[in-house]
Amino acid sequence: MSGARARKARRVALALIVALSAPAFAATRTPSPPPAGATQFYAALPLPERVALETDLIWTGHYEGVADGEMSASAIAAVQAFQSRNGGKPTGVLNPQEQKELTAAARTARQAVGWRLLDDPATGVRLGVPTKFVTRTAQGANTSRFASAHGELQIETFRIDAPGTTLAAVFDQHRKDPSRSIESAVLRPDFFVISGEQGGVKKFSVRAAIKSGEVRGATIGYDVATQGTFARLVTAMASAFAPFPSGALVGAQAQRRVEYATGIVVDAAGRIVTDREATQGCLVITVAGLGNAEREAADPDLALLRLYGARPLDPVPVAAADAAADNVTLVGVADPELQAGAATVTAAPARLGAAMADSKRLLEPSPLPGFSGAAALDATGALVGVVTLAPAASGAPQGLLVPAGGLRHFLERAHVALAPAAARPAADFTTGIVRVICTRS
């Protein structure tokens, strides 16, 4: 599919899915002509910057178009809506402070759902997945399925490469499903989109494309009652979906087949805390040198692992209060690629940056790969938080700190008896810091 035709296909697909569930702040009328100079300003920006801007506006709920870098009148109107909502003058061109605020707001929205771009090995499609809502529940030779715990949100990919396969035949198969009430159906020579209701309780959208005789697609469905929760996610998923992606995923958004993180031992019975994201979709979780573990509990940021059959471990005491100063020491196990395959526990200085709305703190500089789940110690050696690495729109992931208060609350809800808090030098924690290895399909 050519670039222009692919962009057209994505715009049509997105228009249909957005018709099912418009974001809360999106304009509902035809946008006015852009302010003088705005179109020329964006035309001079590099394409990646324009795509990133449109993507951020989708995540803040102001833009319901596709992130293709074209910066249409609707996209510029979305910029104006963001400016007005934040008390600024709606010029259509963000000043540096407004750009910073937009980036931060979009990053917070992505972090809240655990957004990741994944290359599906079963079908070859690339899709965006809100990993804090859904996990991969099944994978076959030509399909993968992701679902939330109670099935409110479901994503199913498919690939059809049988001899004689036609896009029209696949389109008819989906359109004629007797359980579906079709609201929109568009068939073009190289793609189709179908949307509507299923069983009277779910909204759904099916989109697919054909290339070299192979059809690849995905079905997104969610309960009508959850529209307020999933509307923006559906828009983001529609914009991110690529049936025939070009190039391999790079950067923090790519979920690795084998992922390395750090774990903190929190009781002698073998319970270990780490970053939730690092344990999403694992077929096997291994604690290096100690054996396999199971995920016993999780919240939006942290995961609690249970290691069975291990010798008594040395738990790391959790501080009674959050960090009193901004300088901390991170203690973790860096990715084996950074230490010639070794699993050495190392320490690195860091500074706590701005506080987030959910009490987490930014970490500067961002921690090394493998430090997801690492311990943060203050100047006295007290454990004052857990490192998480949040997915970013591009480039390296952003390091965040879940403070001691959040960690204690998580462990108390999981009925873990905490070791008495006691300050110790960072070097004394090495027996309570372990490497966690997640192996995915």
pLDDT in tens, 179-188: 999 999 999 9
**CB within 8 Å of 9: residues ≥ 6 apart:** 1, 188, 190, 191, 209
Q: What is the pLDDT of residue 199?
A: 86
pLDDT at 214 over 70: yes
Query: Using CA atoms, how far apart are residues 78 and 62, in angstroms rounded to an integer?
Result: 5
pLDDT tens-digit profile of 303-349?
999 988 766 778 888 888 887 788 899 999 988 878 777 788 988 89
Beta-strand ranges (E) seen in 188-255 are: 191-198, 202-211, 214-223
Question: How far is residue 337's CA from residue 355's CA, in Å, rounded to a whole number?
Answer: 31
Q: Please check whether the domain covering 115-249 is classified as CATH 3.40.470.10.
A: no
The pLDDT value given to residue 24: 38
CATH 1.10.260 matches 31-113: no
Examine the pLDDT at 221 and tell me if it is beyond 80: yes
Cβ atoms of 417 and 267 within 8 Å: the answer is yes
Percent of the chain with pLDDT over 70: 85
DSSP string covering 92-133: SS--HHHHHHHHHHHHHHHHHHTEEEEE-TTT--EEEEETTT
**pLDDT tier, 17 (very low <50, low <70, confident <90, very high otherwise):** very low
Whole-Å CA distances, 48 to 44, 195, 247, 393: 12, 30, 15, 11
pLDDT of residue 23: 39
pLDDT digits (tens, 9 = 90+) for 372-386: 999 998 888 788 899
Q: What is the CA radius of gyration of the chain?
A: 23
CATH of domain 258-439: 2.40.10.120
pLDDT band at 394 (very low <50, low <70, confident <90, very high): very low
Res 293 pLDDT > 70: yes
pLDDT for the residue numbered 116: 84
Q: Which whole number is the average pLDDT over 7-29?
A: 41
Question: What's the mean pLDDT in 143-160?
Answer: 92
List the beta strands (DSSP E) in 276-344.
284-287, 291-298, 302-307, 327-333
pLDDT at 421: 57
The per-residue pLDDT of the chain, averaged, comes to 82
Q: Is residue 424 over pLDDT 60?
A: no
Q: Render pLDDT for 58-90 as a digit per residue (tens, 0 to 9).
A: 999 899 877 878 898 999 999 999 999 999 999
- pLDDT category, 211, cuts 50, 70, 90? very high
Q: Which ranges in the chain are annotated with CATH 3.40.1000.10?
A: 115-249
Average pLDDT for 84-101 = 91
Domain with CATH 1.10.101 in the chain: 31-113
| In the chain, ranges of CATH 2.40.10.120 domains | 258-439
Q: Can you tell me the mean pLDDT for 361-381?
A: 86
At residue 432, does pLDDT exceed 50?
yes
Cα distances from 347 to residues 204, 340, 376, in angstroms, run 48, 17, 9
pLDDT for 308 equals 80
Whether the predicted pLDDT of 356 surpasses 80: no
Residue entry with tokens 């054996």: 291
Confidence at 249, pLDDT banded by 50, 70, 90? low
The reply to whether the predicted model has a pTM over 0.85 is: no
